[in-house]
Amino acid sequence: MRILLLTHSFNSLTQRLYAELARDGHALSVEFDIRDSVAEEAVALFEPEVIVAPFLKRAIPESIWSRHLCLVVHPGIVGDRGPSALDWAVQEGEASWGVTVLQANAEMDAGDVWASREFPMRAAAKASLYRREVTEAAVSCVREALVQVPDWRAGRWQPVPLARAGGRGRLRPLMRQPDRAIDWTRDSTATVLARIRAADGFPGVADTLFGHRCHLFDAHPGPAGLSARPGECLARRDGAILRATVDGSVWIGHVRRADAEHPFKLPAGEAFAEAALALPEHPVPLERSDGSFGELAYHESEDGQVGFLCFAFYNGAMGTAQCRRLRDAIEEAARRATRVLVLTGGPEFWSNGIHLNRIEAAASAADESWANINAMNDVCEALIGLTDRVTVAALRGNAGAGGCFLALAADEVWAHPGVVLNPHYKNMGNLFGSEYWTYLLPRRLTAELARQVMADRLPLVAPRAREIGLIDACFGADAADFERLMALRAETIAASDELTGRIEAKARQRASDEAARPLAAYREDELDRMRRNFYGFDPSYHVARYHFVAKTPQSWTPRHLARHRDLDWAAPRGAAA
């Protein structure tokens, strides 16, 4: 089918749907929902058979839904209505939640039901649930709905009117800051976590830290049994600040200060740098079994043959200091007597490359960009240089830009089917990119395919990445199943009789590659191009980064997404409405 994705932005759900539906063989185009006239123009140009709206912040105009089939993805159970569906579900501790695909009509979230799914809720942040359970359910619902379209057009099938669909959902209002407010003198750790998790991603919980107004994000449970005044800030770790509750404590990972020069999300310890430095630092061992908060963690299989290194960086962004700590952790893991090292990233993201928010907040964005990309390259180099064991990048979450190429620095790349990869840089102001991609990508893709992937700037789902050879394996029914199978696969490699020969061949290949062209030469050439991005006369990277960090509203849809705006675009004759 010819499907137009009408969306507020190209967010994680929209990217996943785009990549899945493209792989299913549908003809797709994207239009950002900027205003009615722009959406109407897009529909007139593309003449879609179906309009799918994965992520909207306002109603589809009647001029469109009255003439075209419009399927809206709502992140709530059947009957749920309102703009804060997932926020309420997380904050109120719903045991299960769901996704409903509705046909757009005159009333928001009140159209006929085309498909629905429910799932058990995890104790997790709203953004995590959205990226995982909500996205999986949405993909399934949209596919089911699209299958029904021919029968609906022929009059053989009808969606269920919402009034007859049943369900326990109800109309709920926009969740406002008074609904989210934390009373530190009364609220338990569980309540504090639920409120911050329900606001994670956007808009955060309005609060105060060190006497300054801010919004709180990225909360994790801290230790109990502390003798401290509720609300008091106690310690710092990995950029987070430990704050006492009435029955324990929570780590606040990120904040957005209302009074700051840079009013966007930053690690709490950096947004309040002076006050945080006065707090004691509570480091945590790399190898630990108590599940305590920390960005880096390492453990080994029971027989000590496989090491697993986790690096859970918020939103997958890796600042200069984080890169250096990860490089140190890889070097520490390399001193262990393992035969396989698995780098698992974080449960939400593998990596998205350099930390654009920290760069934007730096005194010199160009200098911090330069320091950050060099630190990223050091991580890649440490991984490429591990020639005495097999290395695996196990993608539990999405990967983008430099994070994709960091994964390619491993011998094998594994992912589960729900992972989305964005192996390109150009969307960030025509950035050239580094992370040794000019060495790593040609080892996996032909020159033409590599050029296409980098130039298209489109997301790939893991099964498609496996088909073209970008990654080595795609398995698991879901993220939890992937983690179980990942460990078994790694242990099988470690126990293989062929492992010694494989490692020896790997070392020979690396030596041969180095003799043909040193890694330093790839790095130098890439950084020469990056230096121009950072310090040159063309400000495109700096402008794009600013708009990304500031979340500037979209004023147009990028041409690589809006194929209906290509000069040579023409809708096929006999297009259906």
Closest CA relative to residue 324, chosen from 296, 292, 362, 358: 296
Mean pLDDT of all residues in 24-47? 97
Closest CA relative to residue 433, chosen from 480, 377, 390, 385: 377
Mean pLDDT of all residues in 470-488? 96
Q: Reply yes or no on whether the pLDDT at 576 is more than 70.
A: no
Closest CA relative to residue 252, chosen from 238, 240, 234, 244: 240
Instruction: Check if 2-174 and 296-535 are the same fold.
Output: no
User: 43-57, pLDDT tens digit by residue?
Assistant: 999 999 999 999 999
Q: Which CATH superfamily is domain 2-174 in?
A: Formyl transferase, N-terminal domain (3.40.50.170)
**With bands split at pLDDT 50, 70 and 90, how would you rate the model's confidence at 11?**
very high
User: 511-536, pLDDT tens digit by residue?
Assistant: 999 999 999 999 999 999 999 999 99
Least confident of 355-359, 435-439, 551-555: 551-555
Spatial neighbors of 121 by CB under 8 A, at least 6 apart, are 89, 90, 93, 94, 95, 96, 97, 129, 133
Q: How far apart are the C-alpha atoms of 409 and 327, rounded to whole Å?
A: 13
- Averaged confidence pLDDT in the chain: 97
Give residue 289's pLDDT.
Answer: 87
Could you tell me which CATH number the domain at 296-535 has? 3.90.226.10
Tally of CB atoms within 10 A around 445: 18
Q: How far apart are the C-alpha atoms of 116 and 137, rounded to whole Å?
A: 8
Tally of CB atoms within 10 A around 227: 5
Mean pLDDT of all residues in 142-148? 99
Q: How far apart are the C-alpha atoms of 575 and 64, rounded to whole Å?
A: 16
- Token match 């950002």: residue? 32
Give 301-319 as a DSSP string.
-TTS-EEEEEE--GGG-B-
Which amino acid appears at position 546 of this protein? Answer: Y
Give residue 573's pLDDT.
Answer: 67
Contact criterion met (CB below 8 Å) for 454 and 428: no
Which amino acid appears at position 462 of this protein? Answer: A
The pTM score is: 0.96
**With bands split at pLDDT 50, 70 and 90, how would you rate the model's confidence at 575?**
low
Q: Reply yes or no on whether the pLDDT at 262 is more than 90.
A: no
CATH code 3.40.630.30 for 177-277: no
Structural domain boundaries in the chain: 2-174, 177-277, 296-535
Give the pair of three-digit tokens for residue 93.
């501790």
Sign of the dihedral through C-alpha 58, 59, 62, 68: positive
Strands (E), 8-68: 27-32, 50-53
User: 61-100, pLDDT tens digit by residue?
Assistant: 999 999 999 999 999 999 999 999 999 999 999 999 999 9
Spatial neighbors of 447 by CB under 8 A, at least 6 apart, are none
Burial 342-353 (b: 16+ CB within 10 A, else e): bbbbbbbbbbbb
203 prior amide bond cis, ω within 30? yes
23 Rama class: left (phi>0) / alpha (psi -120 to 50) / beta: alpha
- Between 249 and 568, where is the model more confident? 249
Contact criterion met (CB below 8 Å) for 310 and 238: no
Mean pLDDT of all residues in 429-450? 97
Give residue 574's pLDDT.
Answer: 56
Q: How far apart are the C-alpha atoms of 247 and 28, rounded to whole Å?
A: 52
Q: How far apart are the C-alpha atoms of 404 and 440, rounded to whole Å?
A: 10
Q: Reply yes or no on whether the pLDDT at 117 is more than 70.
A: yes
